[in-house]
Amino acid sequence: MFTVTRCLFSFGLMTEEGGIPTLLYGLGSWLFARVTETVHTSYGPITVYFLNKEDEGAMY
């Protein structure tokens, strides 16, 4: 019983640590994303957000 409880606790801790920082990073980036581009797919238009504007004609 101790091993099962310990595995469940470890899995819960990994999920929490892995999910919350990723969520906060995503929300923080979303606040700064001001440049958008609409991509047309077979499922309809999708808006993609960028943090900085692309230089037209740049090599990299």
Per-residue pLDDT of the chain (60 residues; tens, 9 = 90+): 557 666 666 666 666 666 777 778 888 888 888 899 999 999 999 999 888 888 888 887
8 in a structural domain: yes
39 neighbors 45 (Cβ within 8 angstroms): yes
10 in a structural domain: yes
41 in a structural domain: yes
Q: Which domain holds residue 7?
A: 2-50
Predicted pLDDT of residue 13: 65
Predicted pLDDT of residue 42: 96
40: number of Cβ within 10 Å: 8
43 in a structural domain: yes
Q: How far apart are CA 15 and CA 4, in angstroms?
A: 16
- Does the predicted TM-score (pTM) go above 0.75? no
Based on the structure, what is the number of domains in the chain?
1
45 in a structural domain: yes
Look up residue 53 and give its amino acid.
K
Strands 44-50 and 35-41: antiparallel
